[in-house]
Amino acid sequence: MSLLEEYTRIREHTIAICAPLAIEDHVPQPADFVSPPKWHLAHSTWFFEQMILKRFQRDFQEYDPQFGYLFNSYYNHVGERTARVQRGHITRPTLQEVLAYRAHTDKCMLQLLRQAALAPDCTELIELGLHHEQQHQELLYYDLKYILGQQPLFPAYGGDTLRHKDRNAVAGWIDMPAGIYEIGWEGDGFSFDNERNRHKVYLQSYQISKALVTNAEYLSFIQDGGYSRFELWLDEGWAWVKENAAKCPLYWQQRGADWLIYGLDGLQPLEELSVLTHINYYEAQAFATWAGKRLPTEAEWEAASDQLPWGARWEWTGSAYLPYPGFKIAPGAVGEYNGKFMVNQMVLRGASVATPAGHARTTYRNFFHPHLQWQFAGIRLAT
């Protein structure tokens, strides 16, 4: 597929994710970590305008000079911007105006993509813009689920319900011998800077589960007093439990003796054999301790990845998000993409049912703050 075809396919997919939403669903920001769908539509467009068109399109005129202030996410190189927590306050431009901004930017991008020879750094930035858009497609699912799932009537999304009832197809453990393994990206094709450089690691022998933790297993942890036993939790995790009066994963509700769960198809009885989702790092760690196991490190995950069925849930690892040997922050705005977030976050490996097709790979390093639950994350145990 040509870059132009890829561009068209990926940009259209973002619109398709939002298609089942009402105009009103595009605006609210019910929590600081959620961005409104309208903001995603505009911000992913701004990325192409700011990083590519401004630099590579001759005599390019910004669509609206004020949009940078509204839709820049975190790029200090680019300039001042709206506070993240205020994204839901933006009712103007309207959704229709944002869609017109997208259409205009797409027209300019397609003009650029039709040019006979693009400079290699231009092609590289367009690829980054497309992978960036795909990351926002996944965030759109997290955010629209939270926007709908926090409402009194728990409305269904009306689009793809993302197989939240997935079950494990396999069971048992993989025995991994001690030795030197190589992890990280090397070769042609796209990778983010945080996946490089490929390097050697020494691993002690370990076992890693073929299956992800199920709702039934997590329910046993809850019923065994998991959320009231401080000894299972890291200190920060226990503080999080107390502060939030946490009793179960996000989107779970207890009604008498029954448990319900909110999915994109609405509020439903909890299916015990389905794979667990929406737990934070603290919960994953406490569950692993309760089970007498631990979370794998990211190197252990990657070394075993060709034998693992993965892709249903992002899998919390026990690894802090840190630079690989040889990692360098690129100059300019693109250098702000990954490197500056390498503090106080944990790595997740694999992919989830919300990850767009073609976006995942075994070297991919996702990362979130340890208290966040709204991403589609689950647990794979190691020992």
- Residues of the shown chain interacting with Fe ion in the complex, contacts defined by CB under 5 A: 73
CA distance 38 to 284: 32
Q: Closer to Fe ion at the Cβ: 129 or 249?
A: 129
Q: How far is CA 381 from the centre of its chain?
A: 20
Q: Closer to Fe ion at the Cβ: 129 or 184?
A: 129
Q: CB of residue 54 vs Fe ion: minimum separation in angstroms? A: 16
Q: Closer to Fe ion at the Cβ: 129 or 263?
A: 129
Q: CB of residue 190 vs Fe ion: minimum separation in angstroms? A: 16
* 3-class secondary structure, 191: coil
CB atoms within 10 A of CB 8: 16
Q: CB of residue 86 vs Fe ion: minimum separation in angstroms? A: 16
Q: CB of residue 73 vs Fe ion: minimum separation in angstroms? A: 5
CA distance 108 to 190: 24
Q: Closer to Fe ion at the Cβ: 73 or 362?
A: 73
Write the CB contacts of 363 (distance below 8 Å, at least 6 apart in sequence). 183, 184, 185, 191, 195, 302
Q: CB of residue 46 vs Fe ion: minimum separation in angstroms? A: 9
What residue is closest to Fe ion based on CB?
Answer: 73
Strand partners, 267: 262
Q: CB of residue 182 vs Fe ion: minimum separation in angstroms? A: 30
Whether a cis peptide bond, with omega within 30° of 0, leads into 269 is no
Query: Of 77, 9, 72, nearest to 39 (Cα)?
Result: 72
Q: Closer to Fe ion at the Cβ: 73 or 194?
A: 73
Q: Closer to Fe ion at the Cβ: 106 or 271?
A: 106
Whole-Å CA distances, 215 to 269, 272, 301, 348: 12, 5, 22, 19
Longest dimension (CA), the chain: 66
